[in-house]
């Protein structure tokens, strides 16, 4: 490949790594997939360094040219198993039968641009929040209202999260608004158990899988990335709890 093709490949690989990170993939998976793609496209050597907020990729090509690219990751994406599976499959497919660089970048954009159907997201949010409220000991009415607030949270996630400056701020505002409305509803309808409704809804926002991924990263040796992700998750959890606690304090619960 000539110099322009090498540069295009480097940018495509950085796009691939960014898409995987923003979908919530583990650090080891991102590094392994990038290494496979580099080898598939004829790189003699590839040095890949990935953390949750940055990708550094140095590729030595067969013509002796060495290129280094850095990509700053500013987006904290929600976990999307469908995107991770699609990108993972693309890496292995390209490793066995590489496609042209423009075609590779087109496939990356296609997978990264996909999103779940809204109806499934709303149905899943309502089902999960209502079921958790019942699981924690709430009444059927608590489960019903928890499911309704799960729909509201899903709406916030789809419409407000992209406009928020960061995920911690989004979690705080979402939990504060939902907590206040739930408390007001509890005053109007005394038969509802506010704590059960909140417990059902808070489960939609708890970064449980992200914490598990952080622990896995540290166990397999990606200590810096795992510690960074874990600290980020603890900040998210703190802001989430703070929003609900403040709503309870404001409304005297």
61-98 pLDDT per residue, tens? 887 788 889 999 877 656 788 888 888 888 888 888 88
The rounded distance, in Å, linking the Cα atoms of 29 and 70 is: 18
- pLDDT at 78 (0 to 100): 67
Q: What three-state secondary structure class fits 62?
A: coil
Contact 176, 243 (CB under 8 A): yes
Domain boundary assignment for the chain: 3-113, 118-250
pLDDT at 1: 61
Nearest-Å Rg of the Cα atoms of the chain is 22
pLDDT tens-digit readout, 22-40: 888 888 888 888 988 888 8
Q: Can you give the pTM of this predicted structure? A: 0.77
pLDDT of residue 197: 94
The torsion angles phi and psi of 55, rounded to 5 degrees, stand at: -125, 130
Hey, CA dihedral for 82, 217, 49, 51, is it positive or negative?
A: positive
Q: d(Cα 109, Cα 112) in Å, to the nearest integer?
A: 5
Reported as a single tens digit per residue, the pLDDT across 184-232 is 998 889 889 999 999 999 998 888 888 888 888 888 877 888 888 889 8
């Amino acid at each position: 490949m000539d110099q322009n093709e090498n540069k295009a490949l480097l940018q495509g690989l950085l796009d691939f790594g960014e898409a995987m990170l923003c979908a919530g993939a583990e650090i080891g998976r991102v590094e392994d997939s990038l290494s496979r793609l580099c080898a598939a496209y004829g790189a003699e050597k590839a040095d890949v360094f990935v953390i949750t907020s940055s990708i550094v990729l140095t590729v030595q090509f067969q013509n002796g040219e060495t290129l280094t690219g850095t990509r700053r990751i500013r987006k904290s994406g929600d976990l999307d198993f469908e995107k991770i599976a699609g990108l993972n499959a693309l890496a292995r497919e390209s490793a066995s039968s590489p496609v042209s660089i423009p075609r590779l970048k087109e496939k990356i954009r296609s997978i990264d641009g996909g999103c779940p159907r809204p109806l499934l997201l709303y149905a899943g949010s309502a089902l999960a929040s209502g079921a958790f409220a019942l699981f924690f000991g709430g009444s059927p009415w608590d489960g019903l209202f928890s499911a309704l607030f799960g729909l509201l949270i899903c709406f916030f996630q789809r419409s407000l999260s992209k406009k928020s400056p960061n995920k911690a701020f989004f979690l705080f505002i979402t939990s504060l608004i939902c907590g206040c409305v739930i408390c007001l509803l509890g005053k109007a309808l005394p038969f509802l158990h506010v704590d059960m409704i909140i417990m059902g809804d808070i489960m939609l926002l708890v970064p449980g899988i992200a914490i598990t991924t952080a622990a896995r990263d540290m166990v397999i040796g990606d200590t810096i990335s795992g510690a960074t992700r874990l600290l980020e998750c603890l900040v998210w959890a703190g802001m989430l709890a703070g929003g609900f606690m403040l709503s309870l304090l404001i409304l005297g619960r």
